[in-house]
Amino acid sequence: MNSANSAHAAARGTGSAALLCALGEEHGLPRGRLLAGAGITEAQLADPGAEISAEQEVRLVAALAAELPEDGGLAAGGRYRLATYGIWGFALLSSRTLRAGHEVAMRFLDLTYALTRVSAVEDDGELHLFFDDLDLPEPVRRFVLLRDATAALQLWRESLGRPVVPRRVELRLPAPVDPAPFAAAFGVPPGFGAPRSTVVFDAALLDQPLPQAAPLTAALCEAQCRELLERRVSRRGLSGQVRDLLLRHPQQMPGQEAVAAELHMSVRTLRRRLGEEGTSFRAVVDQTRRHLAEELLVTVGLSVEEVAERIGYSEASAFVHAFRRWTGASPRRWARTAARE
């Protein structure tokens, strides 16, 4: 499985916010009101180099979704183009095949505007793109699920330069009163009430050559994606850097000494700087393990014993004890509740 971003993974450009504001204005929502509620300025919206937080975009989506019809996310997703994503989009467009572009896309998902957890599994001649939205409240959850899923389909179509129709679409949403706009957006009637939201493609599409392939440009764009992601990570603070180091080897997370050495500082300096950010090494480890455990329990569906091993616990009982401390519930009970939400 390839997976990446979480709902609030990193900073992002303002291209998505501009598209959402334009959609709102078409429905009579003043752009100034949407921006003010999200804490975004007009100057930021006009600056191609400006960045906002994922939380700001969530607030913008919340204001927009509250005023739009229940299928508003479909209209939003159809507006996203490869150029909207800047260097990430150009890396996909210039890739040799759709598979090469897909691999770059998944590697650098934190450079996109996705607010769902996106993952991919290739199995038995099919590619399943999953869009998990466990951390988002309604109506934001519904809006970004539809936006992210239809935007992904739009990017496949644009990359190949021709219509692409999924084999199947399953949505973790109740059936709408009018399913016609959903069928029109996806090209097939979706199934509703699914345990997970997924768009399923014929995996043979992955080996199709892209009409605008340019290997040298693709290599340059990929290098720029890497540099941009590294800059954004460095601006997320020391706790973000520590979290990234822990996630490199989740089964054997490094200790304080090893992390401090990797960051070229003493343990005392590491403790002090984490304290200045209002956290501690133990808290970052706990938070990292908790988020990873939640994702593995629900989006991957592993057993409690398998999750415990994946995140570095030698005994499942120790993991269960820690999970109860984090959430107030056992892993199995938490997973059942999350699956019903």
Q: Which long-range contacts (CB under 8 A, 24 or more apart) does 235-239 make?
A: 235/11, 236/10, 236/11, 237/277, 238/263, 238/270, 238/273, 238/274, 238/277, 239/274, 239/277, 239/279, 239/284
Q: For 103-141, what is each residue's pLDDT tens digit?
A: 999 988 889 999 998 999 999 999 999 999 867 888 899
| SS3 assignment, position 24 | helix
Give me the mean pLDDT over the 150-155 stretch: 97
Stretch 58-79: mean pLDDT, rounded? 94
The better pLDDT of the pair 52, 128 is held by 128
Asked, for residue 231, whether it belongs to a domain, the answer is no
Range of the domain at 153: 2-217
Q: 118 with 205, same domain?
A: yes
The percentage of residues in the chain with a pLDDT greater than 70, rounded to a whole number, is 93
Per-residue pLDDT tens over the stretch 190-243: 999 999 999 999 999 999 999 999 999 999 999 999 888 877 766 667 888 888
Question: Is residue 182 domain-shared with residue 34, that is, in the same domain?
Answer: yes
| Crossing angle of the two packed helices 54-65 and 31-38, in degrees rounded to 10 | 140
Identity of residue 168: R
* Helices and strands in the chain: count of H runs, count of E runs: 17, 8
**What's the CATH code of the domain at 180?**
3.90.1520
d(C-alpha 63, C-alpha 68), whole Å: 9
Highest mean pLDDT of the ranges 44-48, 52-56, 111-115, 324-328 = 111-115
On whether both 264 and 332 belong to a single domain, the answer is yes
Asked whether residue 256 falls in the same domain as residue 165, the answer is: no
Residue 58 sits in the same domain as residue 200: yes
**Separation CA 142–CA 270 (nearest Å):** 40
Within 10 Å of residue 231's Cβ, how many Cβ atoms?
Answer: 11
Residue 253 domain-assigned (yes or no): yes
Same domain, 56 and 192: yes
Distance of CA 9 to the CA centre of its chain: 7
Measured distance CA(172)–CA(298) in Å, rounded: 13
* pLDDT over 90 at 43, yes or no: no
Confidence band, pLDDT 50/70/90 cuts, at residue 339: low
* 232 domain-assigned: no
At residue 52, the 3 state secondary structure works out as: strand
| Among candidate residues 105, 16, 91, the one with its CA nearest the CA of residue 52 | 16
For 178, phi then psi, to 5°, come to -125, 105
| pLDDT at residue number 300 | 58
- For residue 4, the model assigns a pLDDT of 44
- Determine the 3-state secondary structure of 78 from DSSP: coil
Number of domains the chain contains: 2
Band of the pLDDT at 295, cuts 50, 70, 90? Answer: confident
Neighbouring C-alpha atoms within 13 Å toward the C-beta of 49: 1
Residues 263 and 333 in one domain: yes
Cα(172)–Cα(190) distance, integer angstroms: 10
On the question of a cis peptide bond just before residue 139, with omega within 30 degrees of 0, the verdict is yes
Confidence class for position 301, pLDDT limits 50, 70, 90: low
69 plus 186 within the same structural domain: yes
Instruction: Let me know how long the chain is.
Output: 341
Antiparallel, parallel or unpaired: β 191-192 and 168-171: parallel
